[in-house]
Structure 1
């Protein structure tokens, strides 16, 4: 019951069950409850249970490595490093030696807080105490370097891991793939993804999406399209976001709507549906192309799905109809939008129309 309540975050219900127990709680009971409070970020509650454990538990319920590691992890995740360090010191005083999980919890917390140099010292202390760092330890260090803006050190750290015979996992690789994308080096990021595939590691879709973002941002659309089509062969299927990033990027380039239509068709075949942002991008692309028929078809498709045309795209649509001498068609579209969709700031849309209608009349 206590574990169940803690799993779903109902720690106060778990505490009530704990208080109503007719048998004496054991070490597992206390550790489960402490973990529940730590998971909720309620370190005061966790400390109260710990103090109670010390006062009432007796010799059979002395805090163990799991108890202290849970507290260290909880304090570290909240950025309360002084309390985490004090907890570790207390652990040692009690004759309970920190293990790899204890150090990893503290190192991860320090790194996420940007204190990568302190984390490195803690890593050295861990090694001096006879514990070997693992992939998790080093992944935290790489995250720390990235958060501190020390990209080169993060990249070098990954290379050092490999040179030491350590096999980075998907999380470790993903940290550096994302960092390469952040510093606008998509080619290096892609090489790393290919290295993952070569080593039998399935890349995450989020790594591909990070590469797509920077490729589109840098105008390397052909490379983005090629990578999108290569993804299945690299062990990862594109998700909706993968398609969305690439499709919306291509829509902004005049004259490439046929490629967009092919990708949209592929996306639909793979079970993904268009959202409001993608529809607006498609409409903008057709307006830029001057394709009145496809623009109108897209507009009515949006209305059928209760998707709202954003203000800028609506203005582009009205301009297209104005150029075709059919600006009054936009009146019909707006009326249909008002009837079937929730359109905030409707006066702004009407303002666009009035402006063009007056121009046409003059």
Structure 2
């Protein structure tokens, strides 16, 4: 049972009608916390202690309580308060929830993915509106639940959209579809909205479609929507199209739209985002001088560079190998009050790497981590570190980094493991590569074809290891993971088993390759013939296999395989 709550003093309650509601809000949230609901089952919850606040209920107070930090973090507390305020006893002010209050609680419940609770609340009220339904559509879209988003859109069309428009819901469904790359379905809805005639699409409707097309690289279609807009584009519209052209590398068109924004009577001027998009586009194209020219114009027009602006410049400089200049920009951005992020440090690390200074990359990362400049590095940052250790032929240090990542609950990328596999083989440690392969899944990373192929090939070609003892187990794991062999891998296996004079296993994989219409290499075929001759002194197996290979596979150079067979016969 909840602990009893003392009645508040007149001093605290008396402050409710003043401009500062904080003491009252604190008192209410403290009371709710004492009641302490843990879920949505209120059968055993007694909200009576809240009755002392009934005389002070109004729209503003309820909104502030719901939006308070304490209740935003606990939707169950917020819902308890909302349900109590729906029917307070006593109710001297005849308080009733407004649309704004319903919108606030629905927002909170949806932000915590409590769809059933938000839906039940809506069903039990008469506050269904276009705006409220649009929130359900958007929330489901953010979670990738397109089917549910479409359901709520149809609900909007058949309720609030019958006697009027439901533009909020229309824009929400387009946004949800674009977010989930369902551009064809978005286009169908868009055409239906335009042709329906019951509502007038606004600038947000058109901007969403333009953004969707640009996101998928369909800039020409985005431009068509832009040119056909019956309403005036806004800054977001222009930025979306400029960004689309920049992503496509069409800087001439991006510049044209930018200049149209400035001088075409658009009524909106480019801002920091617009300039940053353009600068980033030129940087990605390697046109740093042009990017710097726009940076200067941006500053002259009074637009302050942001993180995207500086990161674009730093990235471009690092690609050009001008790391010292990039570091100057890093200092400049700090002096201008812009905090760098992981992308900034990754650019510098890559720039140092391009300059061939792997040791400095490691030092930069370790110092940045120790000094708190590099915060919460993810798998992509650590992947740079792993790659640099591999470049320095220090695979053991690279493995230590992989283990460090796992200890920090950061999942290593498969490319990081593949780099280490190659490095281990380069320094003559195939057995260590096989051991790491066995540990890979426990380190929360699934091997791909390159992983298996690299390790198996290394074990097969290792002269002084017991690699073939490990190969069969690794190949079986590969097949279990649904990864198929290819001609190159079959050739390596045949070579490896022939090198160990294991005719049975060599014949097995050679026959398997032929059955799957793969042509093993001439080297592997020759090695098999020599192995068979060493065991039996005859080449009937080779003749049969060559005939089968020519029957099943398109052998590019059959004469070479015949010559190899003839040489073995003559010998």
Cα deviation for residue 175 of structure 1 reads 0.6
Cα deviation for residue 269 of structure 1 reads 2.3
Q: 2:263 aligns with which of 47, 55, 60?
A: 55
Query: Aligned equivalents of 2:469 and 2:399: distance in 1?
Result: 27
Structural mapping, 1:8-27, within 5 Å: 8-27=216-235
Cα deviation for residue 38 of structure 1 reads 0.8
* 1:6 aligned onto 2:220: no
Query: Aligned equivalents of 1:200 and 1:297: distance in 2?
Result: 42
Query: Aligned equivalents of 2:444 and 2:543: distance in 1?
Result: 49
CA RMSD of aligned residues (A): 1.7
Query: Aligned equivalents of 1:178 and 1:256: distance in 2?
Result: 25
After superposition, the Cα gap between the structure-2 partners of 1:135 and 1:7, relative to the gap in structure 1 and judged at 3 Å, is: closer
2:533 aligned residue: 322
The answer to whether the Cα contact below 8 Å between 1:114 and 1:145 also exists between their aligned partners in 2 is yes
The answer to whether the Cα contact below 8 Å between 1:107 and 1:119 also exists between their aligned partners in 2 is yes
Structural mapping, 1:340-351, within 5 Å: 340-351=552-563
Q: Deviations over 1:186-221 (max 9, x none)?
A: 111111222222222221121111111110121112
Cα deviation for residue 82 of structure 1 reads 0.7
**Runs of 4+ with >4 A deviation:** none
Structural mapping, 1:164-313, within 5 Å: 164-165=371-372, 166-253=375-462, 255-313=466-524
1:154 aligned residue: 361
List runs of 5+ in structure 2 lacking aligned partners: 1-208
TM-score (structure 1 length as normaliser):
0.94
Query: Aligned equivalents of 1:57 and 1:339: distance in 2?
Result: 72
1:68 aligned residue: 275
Cα deviation for residue 117 of structure 1 reads 1.7
Query: Aligned equivalents of 1:156 and 1:257: distance in 2?
Result: 39
Structural mapping, 1:110-121, within 5 Å: 110-121=317-328
Cα deviation for residue 185 of structure 1 reads 0.7
Query: Aligned equivalents of 2:342 and 2:254: distance in 1?
Result: 29
The answer to whether the Cα contact below 8 Å between 1:79 and 1:110 also exists between their aligned partners in 2 is no
Secondary structure in structure 2 of the residue aligned to 1:215: helix
Structural mapping, 1:121-160, within 5 Å: 121-160=328-367
* Count of matched residue positions in the alignment of Structure 1 and Structure 2: 358
Secondary structure in structure 1 of the residue aligned to 2:440: helix
Cα deviation for residue 140 of structure 1 reads 1.0
Rg larger in 1 or in 2?
2
1:354 aligned residue: 566
Cα deviation for residue 57 of structure 1 reads 4.4
Query: Aligned equivalents of 1:195 and 1:295: distance in 2?
Result: 40
Q: Deviations over 1:34-63 (max 9, x none)?
A: 11111111111111111111111433x211
* 1:31 aligned onto 2:239: yes
Query: Aligned equivalents of 1:227 and 1:296: distance in 2?
Result: 29
Which has the larger displacement, 246-255 or 84-93? 246-255
Query: Aligned equivalents of 2:498 and 2:482: distance in 1?
Result: 27
Cα deviation for residue 319 of structure 1 reads 1.9
Cα deviation for residue 345 of structure 1 reads 1.8
Secondary structure in structure 1 of the residue aligned to 2:416: helix
Which has the larger displacement, 241-250 or 320-329? 320-329
* 1:84 aligned onto 2:303: no
Q: Deviations over 1:213-253 (max 9, x none)?
A: 11012111222122112222322232332222111111113
The answer to whether the Cα contact below 8 Å between 2:283 and 2:316 also exists between their aligned partners in 1 is yes
Query: Aligned equivalents of 2:462 and 2:351: distance in 1?
Result: 38
Which has the larger displacement, 262-271 or 102-111? 262-271
Cα deviation for residue 328 of structure 1 reads 3.5
Which has the larger displacement, 166-175 or 137-146? 166-175
List runs of 5+ in structure 1 lacking aligned partners: none
Query: Aligned equivalents of 2:500 and 2:359: distance in 1?
Result: 43
Which has the larger displacement, 224-233 or 102-111? 224-233
The answer to whether the Cα contact below 8 Å between 2:386 and 2:416 also exists between their aligned partners in 1 is yes
Cα deviation for residue 146 of structure 1 reads 0.5
1:331 aligned residue: 543
Query: Aligned equivalents of 1:351 and 1:51: distance in 2?
Result: 69
Query: Aligned equivalents of 2:258 and 2:567: distance in 1?
Result: 70
Q: 2:306 aligns with which of 90, 99, 109?
A: 99
